[in-house]
């Protein structure tokens, strides 16, 4: 180890000169970031420190053993930092937020050609160390000044000493284990080895699928879509949401009317029906196929004879019946006793006419005649001149009686009287 220290001091030349030039240009300020005891190891762990009271020698304080390693030239600095690096998987090396155990370390991405990154301790941001030039830039940008007194409190590490975590060179940090003399990240998602995908969550150090369709747990399938992590039916007839009616078909996820009568495109009228997507004539009188004749009516799609005598259903029976307003009624007239003639009339040519003869006052007998056997005959008695009274008689109560008075010899005047004005007066 003493031999190694001697060689390190002998190599101070060129690289120390570079730091002196940097100090002279004001890149590293001796007054900036002066670190004071007693917690020097906690303050500089994982950082690049500069011995500003000398020639600005640079050291890397390795978090694995809290030793400082002399970075004499850019090439040696690059070799030492890779030598002290921790191997990680690619998903860890590219994580946005690196684990706290990697602060101040150099990580080696074993999945990406062994690329090296320096993890700045305060913010755990990664700087790619492509080669010696980039290491020098890290020292130039992130180095902090330390006094001689403080720097001597940090033991000097020997990069040529047997290395590896099996020898605690380096010691594996938190979340890392030593396997085959290399610090490797503990397996499992708790240690981001591997990290869980966006669709997974870490449960008992294992990545399990997050529930819900957003994480394909379960997947929604072709007819559903994921809305707020819940599978809901896709809209449109292609997904039967809503489905098309029997008269429609689904074209480009829209229900459109089927061509032909099956889709009412065009629709059949009431007299036709849709058969094999064509409108054909319906059968029966309801659809005028056939049309019922004038004496028939359509009942239950069948032509039947209309009711009433007008259609002989039923026909009027008997000579005295006639059909009026589709009803059988008795024929008018006395020939059909509708109405019948009274006793004074006779039915002639279906009309009641007054019977002839005095019995029916057709003609009536005058007052002096009597109707006998429907014939006017002379009434008997002087009142009717049958017989007429003589000159000396008059008609009293239809009987001829001698008129009173001497003019009619009733009585006659005696010899002593004479008849004057039908009165006997003395002579």
Residues 125 and 51 in one domain: yes
**Do 222 and 295 share a domain, yes or no?**
no
Same domain, 317 and 293: no
Segment 205-256, tens digit of pLDDT: 899 988 988 888 888 888 888 899 899 988 889 888 888 988 888 999 899 9
257 lies in some domain: no
Residue 204 lies in a domain: yes
- Assess whether 61 and 102 both reside in one domain: yes
Q: Do 142 and 217 fall within a single domain? A: no
- Say whether both 296 and 320 belong to one domain: no
57-87 tens-digit pLDDT: 999 999 988 899 999 999 999 999 998 999 8
Q: Is the pLDDT of residue 163 over 80?
A: no
30 vs 45: CA distance, rounded Å = 19
- Residues 221 and 324 occupy one common structural domain: no
> Measuring CA to CA, which residue among 35, 18, 20, 135 is closest to residue 85?
135
Co-location of 331 and 412 in the same domain: no
* Position 247 in a domain: no
- Asked if residues 218 and 210 have their Cβ atoms less than 8 Å apart, the reply is no
215 within a domain of the structure (yes/no)? yes
Report the pLDDT value the prediction gives residue 150, as an integer from 0 to 100: 92
Query: Taking the C-alpha atoms of 389, 394, 396 and 401 in order, what is their torsion angle to the nearest 10 degrees?
Result: -80
On whether residue 285 sits in a domain, the answer given is yes
In this structure, is residue 157 part of a structural domain? yes
- Whole domain around residue 316: which residue ranges? 311-353
Q: Which of 247, 281, 306 is the last residue of a domain?
A: 306
Q: Are 13 and 124 part of one and the same domain?
A: yes
- The reported pLDDT for the residue numbered 167 is 67
What does the block give as tokens for 395?
A: 């008609």
What is the number of domains present in the chain? 5
**Residue 33 sits in the same domain as residue 126:** yes
Of 353, 379, 410, which one is at a domain's C-terminal end? 353
Global pTM reads 0.38
**Residue 244 forms part of a structural domain:** no
């819900």: which residue's tokens?
212
Residues 133 and 222 in one domain: no
Shared-domain flag, residues 32 and 153: yes
Mean pLDDT over 362-372 rounds to 84
d(CA 355, CA 323): 32
335 is a domain residue: yes
- Among 26-35, 329-338, 352-361, which stretch is predicted with the lowest mean pLDDT? 26-35
């Amino acid at each position: 180890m003493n031999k190694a220290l001697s060689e390190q001091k002998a190599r101070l030349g060129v690289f120390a000169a570079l730091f002196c030039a940097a100090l002279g240009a004001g890149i590293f300020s001796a007054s900036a970031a002066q670190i004071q005891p007693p917690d020097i190891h906690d303050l500089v762990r994982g950082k690049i420190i500069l011995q500003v009271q000398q020639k600005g020698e640079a050291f890397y304080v390795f978090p694995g053993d809290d030793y400082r390693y002399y970075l004499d030239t850019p090439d040696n600095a690059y070799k030492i930092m890779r030598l002290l690096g921790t191997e990680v998987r690619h998903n860890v090396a590219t994580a946005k937020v690196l684990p706290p155990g990697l602060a101040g370390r150099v990580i080696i991405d074993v999945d990406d050609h062994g690329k090296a990154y320096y993890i700045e301790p305060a913010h755990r941001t990664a700087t790619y160390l492509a080669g010696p030039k980039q290491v020098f830039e890290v020292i130039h940008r992130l180095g902090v000044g330390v006094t001689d007194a403080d720097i001597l409190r940090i033991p000097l590490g020997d990069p040529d000493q047997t290395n590896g975590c099996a020898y605690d060179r380096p010691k594996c940090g938190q979340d890392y284990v030593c396997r085959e003399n290399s610090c490797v990240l503990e397996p499992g998602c708790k240690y981001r080895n591997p990290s869980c995908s966006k669709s997974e969550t870490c449960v008992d150090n294992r990545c399990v699928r997050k529930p819900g369709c957003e994480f394909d747990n379960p997947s929604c399938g072709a007819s559903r879509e994921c809305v707020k992590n819940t599978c809901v039916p896709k809209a449109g007839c292609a997904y039967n949401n809503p489905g098309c009616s029997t008269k429609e078909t689904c074209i480009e996820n829209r229900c459109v009317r089927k061509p032909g009568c099956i889709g009412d495109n065009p629709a059949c009228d009431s007299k036709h029906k849709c058969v094999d997507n064509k409108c054909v004539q319906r059968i029966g009188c309801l659809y005028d196929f056939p049309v019922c004749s004038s004496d028939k009516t359509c009942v239950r799609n069948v032509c039947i004879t209309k009711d009433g005598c007008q259609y002989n259903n039923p026909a009027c029976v008997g000579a005295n019946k006639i059909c009026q307003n589709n009803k059988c009624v008795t024929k008018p007239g006395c020939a059909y006793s509708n109405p019948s003639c009274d006793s004074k009339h006779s039915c002639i040519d279906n009309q009641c006419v007054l019977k002839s003869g005095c019995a029916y006052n057709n003609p009536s007998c005058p007052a002096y005649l009597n109707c006998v056997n429907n014939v006017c005959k002379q009434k008997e008695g002087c009142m009717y001149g049958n017989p007429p009274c003589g000159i000396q008689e008059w008609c009293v109560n239809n009987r001829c009686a001698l008129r009173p008075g001497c003019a009619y010899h009733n009585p006659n005047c005696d010899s002593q009287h004479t008849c004057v004005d039908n009165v006997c007066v003395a002579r």
